[in-house]
Amino acid sequence: MQYRHLGRSGLRLSTLSLGSWVTYHNQVDTGSAVEMMAAAYDGGINFFDNAEAYAGGRSEEIMGAALKTLAWPRLNYVVSTKFFWGLDRTSEAINRKDTLNRKYLMQAMDGSLKRMQLDHIDLIYCHRPDPHTPIEETVRAMSDLITQGKALYWGTSEWPADDIRTAWELAERHHLHKPVMEQPQYNLFHRQRVEKDYARLYQDTGLGLTTWSPLASGLLTGKYRQGVPDGSRGAMDNMAFLRDELLNRDKNDAVGKLAGIAADLGGNVAQLALAWVAHNPRVSTVITGASRLSQLQDNLGAMALLERLTPEVVQRIDDITLPLSA
């Protein structure tokens, strides 16, 4: 495993990390989480990603229970959570969802700490931008959570570049804790935000990236080339919104071509897609997901392919995927 600094911070994260979106509670119980987190840790992974909205807080509960069982030294691992959506998307209560106001953030932080059975969370994110709350209010609240010792670093997820810059400049002007990282989607078919929109931020603010969906929700594994397999993410009722993209014929044909490149390098197409994301030096860590131990072990094999991504190989990959990317 390789380790990279989170932006300009001194914190180092494993190049591959393990996330819990979709899987925890829906496909992974506490016992399976313990098994996979232990295997990830043994493979060099030190960062485990979560969010309060994942499975309505139950993902945090499972990860917290797993961490308690594993009983690793607290300095040895990094965990995250994210705030914005709230725990119950069906609730009509005010200040409980779709907001980054100070009241919500303060109480959401305490809820996550309780569910994860921790006295602090290393990385906290504003899970989406909130057009109805002044950015300065959000920046002050996130900075205060760090000052209070409840979190160590804060950042954003899927924020426009201009909003990230505004938040950073407000923190700079008022001597507050600045946003350190952004968590954007980034994969062979989704590039615009990371490669173009944020281009100036890396140098200007030292922005680090903890990217998600490196396999495009499973499209880049090749499993959807013949339809939606039983037990896959695409077969889940709550993931139905992904099916049109997962079954996109042009992209699945491209995946077939990528499989040939992967085979030439001694791996499979999923490992190639993970290695490609990690090949970008702006990426601090690539968040992977797994519903079973074999998937996790297969993902770890991407590190071997990373060393084989020569400029010529990257060009072959781009020739196939760049015309289909957004």
User: For residue 269, how far is the Cα from the chain centroid?
Assistant: 20
Side chain identity, residue 144: D
State phi, psi for 22 to the nearest 5 degrees: 75, -45
| Secondary structure (3-state) at 53 | coil
- Residues in contact with 125: Cβ distance below 8 Å, sequence separation at least 6, in sequence order: 51, 80, 81, 82, 83, 154, 155, 156, 157, 181, 183
Catalytically annotated residue among 24, 54, 153, 224: 54
209 forms beta bridges with 182, 283
Torsion sign across C-alpha atoms 8, 11, 12, 16: negative
* Gap between the Cα atoms of 118 and 192, Å rounded: 36
Residue 272 token pair? 């190639």
CB 282 within 8 A of CB 194: yes
DSSP string, 218-278: GGGGTTTTTS--TTSGGGSGGGGGGHHHHT-HHHHHHHHHHHHHHHHHTS-HHHHHHHHHH
- Total Cβ atoms within 10 A of residue 230: 5
The reply to whether 54 belongs to the active site is: yes
19 forms beta bridges with 49
Q: What are the residue numbers of the active site?
A: 54
